[in-house]
Structure 1
Amino acid sequence: MIKINMFSSASKVKGQGVGSAYEELIRLLDEHLNTEFEVNINQFTKSDISHYHTIDPNFYLSTFSKKRGVKVGYVHFLPETIEGSLNIPQPFRGIFYKYIISFYKRMDQIVVVNPTFIPKLVEYNIPEKKITYIPNFVRKDEFPHLSLEKREKVRKQLGISAERFMVLGTGQVQERKGVKDFIKLAENNPNTDFIWAGGFSFGRLTDGYADLKKVVDNPPTNLTFTGIVDRQKLSDYYNAADLFLLPSFNELFPMSVLEAFSCGTPVMLRDLDLYHSIIDGYYIKTTSYEEMNSKLHELQGSSSMMKKYRTLSLAASDRYSEESLTKIWQKYYKALLTGQGD
């Protein structure tokens, strides 16, 4: 049996996709591959593979031990993707960014959740042959596509009007997520309900905290900020929504999009280049606030368009299923010990 030590502190900070992706992988290995892999969490015992999900300093120090086996780094962010998320003053920001790349360079192998990260890592002098793309996934039983009857029941439980169109956004409340455009949409569409499920995971360190906190504390009457929501409850919000909108300016492979797909909820995104290689054709593309507003009105007036994007969401969900990712991770981990991952 192959021994894998998983290193992560992602679950300590609620409401972020890194923790969700980590938990999904742990569950996958436990439920489907437990006869092939022995998984330990945050233990510094001898292992065949050490898989680092977060870049904690104590994890960095552990990479110098000969007990770690093959060291795998999971790249969920780069220095440039942190811009707009955390407000870190200089000179600490520069030091932190150098540390991030130094951590990745300590790895024998790198896993990215979006192929657009590969050339960026190469620019940081990390050999391309060490980098592998493996997408995120979500479980369909955790984020199920509910029937119309069950969906109406969920809306009632959440206090959402059955007659009003509801737009959902999820994730951390921060500049990078495009929350200000979400707020502006709510202000200019008073007959539509808007819900943002998420909060300030990093408190005052959040970029734009002061301005956003004012709106969160006193939002328009048709806009609700729920605060951080447990993943188990999130599926209710996705199923209750008529539209999932993520107006982010920078993402990797957002778990929230996969969760919305799994629930069969139409998805609208700010059209980022990095989406083109992973989910192109499955979502409503917008490039600006004006286009988001226009597409929103178009959707509200077209049942055929709504049906089209519900179907596309479910098709995308099948593409990134738990079954297919189980085979990919099984093959990847085994290849690391046979030299095929070098």
Structure 2
Amino acid sequence: MLNVHMYSSATKVKGQGVGSAYTELIKLLEKYYPEQLAITINEFSPADISHYHTIDLKFFFSTFSKRRGKKVGYVHFLPETLEGSLKLPWIARKVLYRYVIAFYKRMDALVVVNPTFIPKLEAYGIAREKITYIPNFVSKKEFHPIASEEKKQLRVKKKLPTAKFLIVGVGQIQERKGVFDFIELAKRNPEFEFVWVGGFSFGVITDGYAELKKVVDDPPENLHFPGIVERTEMCEYYNLADVFLLPSYNELFPMSVLEAFSCETPVVLRELELYEGVIAGYYAGCADIDEMEKKLKELAKDPAVLAKLRERAKAAAKFYSEDRLALIWLDYYKKQAGKV
């Protein structure tokens, strides 16, 4: 049995994709390999593998212990991907970015959630052979489609109109997520209903906080901000939507998109290079807000086009299944521990 120590503080702040990915992985491994992997959380006893999910300073110091075994780092972000998320003084930003790379360089091996990160990590001086791409996934038990009649009941429960075309977005309320475009689309299209599920996970240091807070406190009539909700409630929001829309300017491998796929909800995204290697072909891509508006109107008008996009979501959910990813993770841990 392999002793795998997990190190993470991702669940301390609600509404983060990193926390969702971490939670999903723990559940997956405990479900599939209870007799092959002995998993502990934030313990500093001897390990075969120490898997670092977040870059806390205490975790960084722990990497200097010879008891850590093989040190694996999970790369959920790079310095450049933090732009547009946090508003920090330039000196604090510079120190943070250098620390991020220093943490990754302390690892014996790295796992990236998007293959486009590999050459970028190489540019920071990290050897290619240390890096492995393993995609994110979500639990079908937690995120699944529900019957049409139940969807109507959910809208009543959430005090949302049952007959209007409804667009849902998910994520932290910040400039990087394209929330300003989401707001503008709601203003342009009063015939549609818009819901953004998420909040200011990092408070006033969130980029664009002051301006976004004004809209959240006094939104247009057809735009709703339910805030950060429990993970168990997220499945309801994906299902009551006609379309899931994420207008982000910068993403890695967004868990919200996989969750929408798993609920078989049609997905519309801003077209990003980062998506090409992971979810190309499964969503409708748009270059800007005007294309998003055009696509939403097309989907609202033509049920056949909407149905085709839903079929693409189903295909994505099948590809990123728990069964397939469970085998990939077990094989990876065995190789890192020299058990293969």
The answer as to 2:244 corresponding to 1:244 is yes
* Structure-1 residue corresponding to 2:159: 159
Q: Displacement, 1:67?
A: 0.3
Q: Displacement, 1:150?
A: 1.9
Q: Report the AA paired with residue 243 of structure 2.
A: L
Q: Report the AA paired with residue 128 of structure 1.
A: R
Q: Deviations over 1:234-260 (max 9, x none)?
A: 100000000000000000000000000
* Structure-1 residue corresponding to 2:99: 99
* Structure-2 residue corresponding to 1:193: 193
The answer as to 2:52 corresponding to 1:52 is yes
* Structure-1 residue corresponding to 2:40: 40
* Structure-2 residue corresponding to 1:66: 66
Give 3-state SS (helix, strand or coil) of 1:44's partner.
coil
* Structure-2 residue corresponding to 1:291: 291
Give 3-state SS (helix, strand or coil) of 1:91's partner.
helix
C-alpha distance in structure 2 between counterparts of 1:324 and 1:297, whole Å: 36
Give 3-state SS (helix, strand or coil) of 1:74's partner.
strand
Correspondence list, 1:74-89, <5 A: 74-89=74-89
C-alpha distance in structure 1 between counterparts of 2:169 and 2:288, whole Å: 16
C-alpha distance in structure 1 between counterparts of 2:339 and 2:26, whole Å: 24
* Structure-1 residue corresponding to 2:331: 331
Q: TM-score, normalised by structure 2?
A: 0.99
Give 3-state SS (helix, strand or coil) of 1:6's partner.
strand
Correspondence list, 1:1-342, <5 A: 1-338=1-338
Structure 1, unpaired ranges of 5+: none
Give 3-state SS (helix, strand or coil) of 1:39's partner.
strand
C-alpha distance in structure 1 between counterparts of 2:160 and 2:217, whole Å: 20
C-alpha distance in structure 1 between counterparts of 2:6 and 2:339, whole Å: 20
* Identity across matched positions, percent: 57
Q: Displacement, 1:277?
A: 1.0
C-alpha distance in structure 2 between counterparts of 1:57 and 1:339, whole Å: 30
Q: Displacement, 1:157?
A: 1.4
Q: Displacement, 1:8?
A: 0.1
Q: Deviations over 1:67-90 (max 9, x none)?
A: 000000000000000000001112
Give 3-state SS (helix, strand or coil) of 2:90's partner.
coil
Q: Report the AA paired with residue 265 of structure 1.
A: T
Structure 2, unpaired ranges of 5+: none
C-alpha distance in structure 2 between counterparts of 1:90 and 1:274, whole Å: 26
Give 3-state SS (helix, strand or coil) of 2:23's partner.
helix
Q: Report the AA paired with residue 69 of structure 1.
A: G
Give 3-state SS (helix, strand or coil) of 1:252's partner.
coil
C-alpha distance in structure 1 between counterparts of 2:155 and 2:144, whole Å: 15
Q: Displacement, 1:323?
A: 0.6
Larger mean CA deviation between 175-184 and 222-231 belongs to: 222-231
Q: TM-score, normalised by structure 1?
A: 0.98
Give 3-state SS (helix, strand or coil) of 1:298's partner.
helix
Give 3-state SS (helix, strand or coil) of 1:296's partner.
helix
C-alpha distance in structure 2 between counterparts of 1:152 and 1:31, whole Å: 33
Q: Report the AA paired with residue 245 of structure 1.
A: L
Q: Displacement, 1:203?
A: 0.2
Q: Displacement, 1:339?
A: 7.5
Q: Report the AA paired with residue 226 of structure 1.
A: P
C-alpha distance in structure 2 between counterparts of 1:295 and 1:250, whole Å: 20
